[in-house]
Structure 1
Amino acid sequence: MAPSPQDYSVTPTPYPAKSHTTSTSIKGVETVATSISFADKILITISQHGRLAHWIHVPLDISATDASLTSTPYNDQDSDDDTPPSDLLPLHHLTATTILGGMVPELGVLGQTIATQIASAVLTRDPGEKRMVVVGLGLDASMSGRKEFSELVGLVLGVL
């Protein structure tokens, strides 16, 4: 028996979905970042050479039963310490999972790290955010360095 129309709920959302795009050159490679905010997901793509080869998702809606899952290790420390501020570190309770692609090992780790950093930035901006973050990447193999990571994350922060 097919479900009746009363079994579905419709959530009104703006159409078209809110989106932002920016681009820059990283290590001489044109890099385009786009964010699209859907009612149930935040989609971020980072593309080089017009490709998307690795898809990762990070659920933000966790049901933590332990305060250690949702707190950061630096919350209780004085601001004059030499420890890094917690908003620069990815939140340790977030888990990035590859859902499609990601066959190049060094780019797989980079992709999951970038996805976790992006999801952390989303939660830092809005701690009540519950939508899933989906990240699509199409990165050149030369992007696995620390400097490139910082530039990629900075580019994405510009579209969030």
Structure 2
Amino acid sequence: MAGAKEYTVKPSPFPATTKTATAIIKGAETTATTVYFTDKIMVTVTQNGRLAHWVHVPLDVAATDDSLTSNYYLDPDDDTPPSDLLPMHHLTATTILGGTIPEIDVLGQTLATQIASAIKTRSSGEMRTLVVGTGLDKGMSGREEYSELVGLILGTL
């Protein structure tokens, strides 16, 4: 078939590899869990046991040039190397469930793109879809809280 993608099947252990971390962020116990399935990577971030917003980010986006896989385009005259902390702009998060509260929708999509970028930076050949479920308070969208959330999640990858 012309244009059909070829996938290699990777054997995965059963049960799926899982890692969990917990921290107190802005006074709320926050738990991040990552589960590596054969076809997907699922990350959940919960407070008070809730999960209200689900986002997915396909990691099999084929970047055709270096401008899609790096952030160097931000200031090409700058001699400092690009920051790996910036999300890759070719990765797109899409809400699949929830998203009725705009602040939480933006937070969930931003977190998902940041996580996807971290995964692609660590393993550029990763092709599984990232699914992120969040159940966070609206107050988690501040800069300090966001940094703590990202740090907690990165500890589970």
Do Structure 1 and Structure 2 share a fold, with TM-score over 0.5?
A: yes
Q: CA deviation at 1:71?
A: 3.0
RMSD (Å) for aligned C-alpha atoms: 2.0
Q: CA deviation at 1:69?
A: 2.1
Identity, % of aligned positions: 65
- 1:141 maps to 138
Q: How does 1:58-137 map to 2 (within 5 A)?
A: 58-73=57-72, 77-79=78-80, 85-137=82-134
Q: What is the TM-score normalised by the length of structure 1?
A: 0.85
Amino acid at match of 1:20: K
For structure 2, the 5+ residue unaligned runs are 1-8
- 1:49 maps to 48
Q: What is the TM-score normalised by the length of structure 2?
A: 0.87
Amino acid at match of 2:79: D
For structure 1, the 5+ residue unaligned runs are 1-9
Q: Which stretch of structure 1 is more off in the superposition, 61-70 or 100-109?
A: 61-70
Greater gyration radius: 1
Inter-partner Cα distance in structure 1 for 2:67 and 2:141: 30
Q: CA deviation at 1:141?
A: 1.4
Amino acid at match of 1:103: T
